[in-house]
Chains A and B, each alone.
Chain A
Amino acid sequence: MKRADLILPLSKPKIGVQGITGSWRIRKPVINYGKCVGCGICWLYCPDSTIEIENAGSRFRVSIDYTYCKGCGICSSVCPVKAIDMVREV
């Protein structure tokens, strides 16, 4: 059989496979940069890989991708300095 005849049920990695999951959100995590100590614990636990960290000296600069963040609030609950507030979307 020619290779082209094979139809394999293969999936390829894709960002946003379930659509814009940010629309599921009812509470939005907002980082209070005045309080944030840049420890990166929120990045470690985020189940949706929507928190990004960049090295900034001995700390991290943290940001949230609101397109796909589902608003579960884990980042807010694990934050050791309570620097992430959950704000109602509507």
Chain B
Amino acid sequence: MPLTIRDLPREKYVLPGHAACPGCPETIGLRFVGMALGRRAILVVPAGCTSIIQGLMPGSGLAFPIINVAFASADAVASGVAAAKEVIGEDSVVVVWAGDGATADIGFATLSGAAERNENIIHICVDNEAYMNTGIQRSSQTPIGAWTTTTWRGKTEPKKNMPLIMASHGIPYVATASVAYPMDFIEKLRKAASIRGFRYVHLHAPCPIGWRFDPSETIEIARLAIETGIWVLMEVEGGRVTISPPSKPYVDKSRRKPLVEYLRRQGRFREISDELIRELEREIDEYWNLLLKLSS
């Protein structure tokens, strides 16, 4: 039976009055982590917006048990925590809550290492497609054509495909999610928590500050990313891709909304050239074709 709002726990893990910007997708995502895993979750947080959202000591805006660690060390620390919890015999789920920088760029060495050792942790990459905490610098997850403070005329390189890179590690579970589809995200997290080994969840999180749109549109933009096909919700288990229900209709290219509807809503794509739009469209088509090949 599909999840409904009535089934979700009401306990607050993100407390009112935390330090996030209005319309922050990370706190929306953290609330869903709380709803999915509850008291079992232990968070390991490398440098990023989430370090700031907690506010200043001695108070914390998040009610999870959290270890704040150096940028590149998150998965190494989480491996240790998971090992210690196993020795104690405590029922807990160790979750690395890292941004795209701490996943795909700076933290990639320990991430790849922990995945190769198949450590018993869940890595959630909160992908806001740039280094938002330090002031919107480009990351390897920034898409083609996007403005950042270090790519003034739009980034010219494509976004690194993290979900498939992680799937290539041969880990038991890889999934993608979006803040606009909470039930899908919560179900994937609960499924991930029931599996042993390294699990990777890539959460698409539109940032109003860095992407230059009104804070009220966070969910609309995230939903448009699915509807235009630029972000695909899927699961990878045993090398086989399964497209998740919210993305299923968009397997058929004619049902996808035009990509410009997604780009036009964001100030970061204001100066994107027609050539880069065509390149982005071609990249999306290639990605879908690859996914459909892997799912057959």
Which chain A residues have a beta carbon within 8 Å of chain B's beta carbons? Answer: 9-21, 24, 39-41, 43-50, 53, 55, 60, 65, 67-68, 70-74, 76-78, 86
B contact residues vs A (CB 8 Å cutoff): 5-6, 8, 10, 12, 14-25, 27-28, 31, 54-63, 182, 208, 214-220
Distance in angstroms between the alpha carbons of A67 and B16 in the assembled complex:
9
- Whether B60 pairs with A17 at a CB distance below 8 angstroms is yes
User: What residues of chain A lie closer than 8 Å to B17, measured between beta carbons?
Assistant: 15-21, 48, 67-68
For B55, the chain A residues whose CB sits under 8 A away are 11, 14, 17-18
Q: Report how far A78 CA is from B25 CA in the complex, Å.
A: 14
Q: Are B218 and A74 in contact (CB under 8 A)?
A: yes
- How near does chain A come to B113, taking the closest CB pair, in angstroms? 27
Which of B8, B10, B20, B57 interacts with A11 by CB under 8 Å? B57
Smallest CB separation, B270 vs chain A (Å): 21
Cβ A77 vs Cβ B216 within 8 A: yes
Can you sample 13 A-B contacts with CB below 8 Å?
A11-B55, A13-B63, A14-B60, A17-B54, A17-B56, A44-B182, A49-B15, A49-B16, A70-B22, A70-B23, A74-B215, A76-B216, A77-B219
- A47 x B25 contact (CB < 8 A): yes
Most buried by B among A40, A46, A74: A74
Q: Is the CB of A48 within 8 A of B19?
A: no
